[in-house]
Homo-oligomer: A and B are copies of this chain.
Amino acid sequence: MVTSKDVAALAGVSQSTVSYVMSGSRSISPETRARVEEAMRELGYHPNASARALAGRRTHVLGLVVHVTARTELAGVLPFIETITAAARERDYDVVLVTADEGRAGLERLARRGIVDAFLVMDVTRRDERVETLAALGLPTVLMGRPDDPRGLHWVDVDGGRAGELAVEELVAAGSETLVVIGEPIGAPSGEHRFIADFEVGAGRAAERADVAAEVVRPPEPGWPGVLAIRDRLVRGGGVRGGIVARTPRVAERVLHLLIEAGFDPARDIGLVAMCEDDVAQRLRVPVTNVSADSRQHARRAVDALFAQLRGGAEPADPQLVTPTLTRRATTSARRVRRPARG
């Protein structure tokens, strides 16, 4: 095994100089730096992680806690993982994926044995058991998702209230006078996520302000004939224009198919706004107006917050809510009649 001692010998410097060249924590003359780096290259040197962690009290590994269940849509998680891994590598950190199977005990082991020195936790629910464990461990931690009681931990989440408002305001501006928000299917987690609750509240608030009727429904899985009834209600009575808010890409896709199948033109007869990633909204059979928060940006924010803590006690004072944006596409642009677009 090639050690920093070998590098030092070949470069004709002391071992500590080699260390300082790597960490950059003290100034090195260009010539020395060059000689050391050359020696490293020549020997194919890789610093030993254990030794570094032991001496430096820092593992340079962060634990990314992903609650993988059979339900998990990997596609949605992937951009997060990629962004986080890349951002970590930029700071010379490795990422270990912690699957939830070991639960709280797993987090304890990882922390106490000094395998990781920070946690990034995805998909945190309102009363997530892990929050307490993590708070007790005292390692730098960022939660993705807002718990009711963060216990002093830093969290980052998309502003659900704003997302709901945006969706409803857009439909209203496009002429809808009665709205249905289609949420998570029955059986799926719903009340557990702060974002979802806030979304519904925000949607309701905006509907009230605009004086339009709004209702939240959860479709039964999987046959899901309920949407037909919803559609009928939305268009019945002639003259009353309906609008649909789809809380998830799945719902959006489904609604779109059903509307088209039933002979509607989603761009004209019924407004539709979906909460989903831009690329998904773009690729549906009809481009769907959508509300989204870029997940890469979201993830980067989380990592930045984490490294701020790692560098030394940045308090969770910085904005923790990510503001979503609305992108107008076909499903709300055709009927823009009664009110101004920025109503």
Contact = CB atoms under 8 A, between A and B. Distances in A.
A99 B75 contact: no
A44 to B, nearest CB: 8
A78 B113 CA distance: 26
A97 interface: yes
A72 B82 CA distance: 14
Interface in A73-125: 73-75, 78, 81-82, 85-86, 89, 94, 96-97, 99, 101-102, 109-110, 112-115
Contacts of A89: 102
Q: Copy number of this protein in the oligomer? A: 2
B99 A96 contact: no
Given A68-B78, A72-B74, A115 B99 contact: no
Interface string A35-72: 00000000010111111011000010100000011101
Determine the interface band of chain A, counting residues with CB < 8 A from chain B.
35 or more
B96 A50 contact: no
A139 to B, nearest CB: 13
B74 A114 contact: no
Contacts of A101: 81-82, 85-86
A243 B96 CA distance: 46
A123 to B, nearest CB: 13
B96 A49 contact: no
A48 B59 CA distance: 11
A278 to B, nearest CB: 15
A85 B97 CA distance: 12
A85 B99 contact: yes
A48 to B, nearest CB: 5
Contact of A109 (B46, B53, B99): B46
Contacts of A82: 99, 101
B114 A48 contact: yes
B85 A74 contact: no
Given A74-B74, A82-B99, A89-B102, 16 more contacts: A46-B113, A48-B113, A49-B50, A49-B53, A49-B114, A49-B115, A50-B53, A54-B54, A61-B115, A68-B78, A68-B81, A72-B74, A73-B74, A85-B102, A96-B96, A96-B97
Interface of A: 44, 46-51, 53-54, 59, 61, 68-70, 72-75, 78, 81-82, 85-86, 89, 94, 96-97, 99, 101-102, 109-110, 112-115
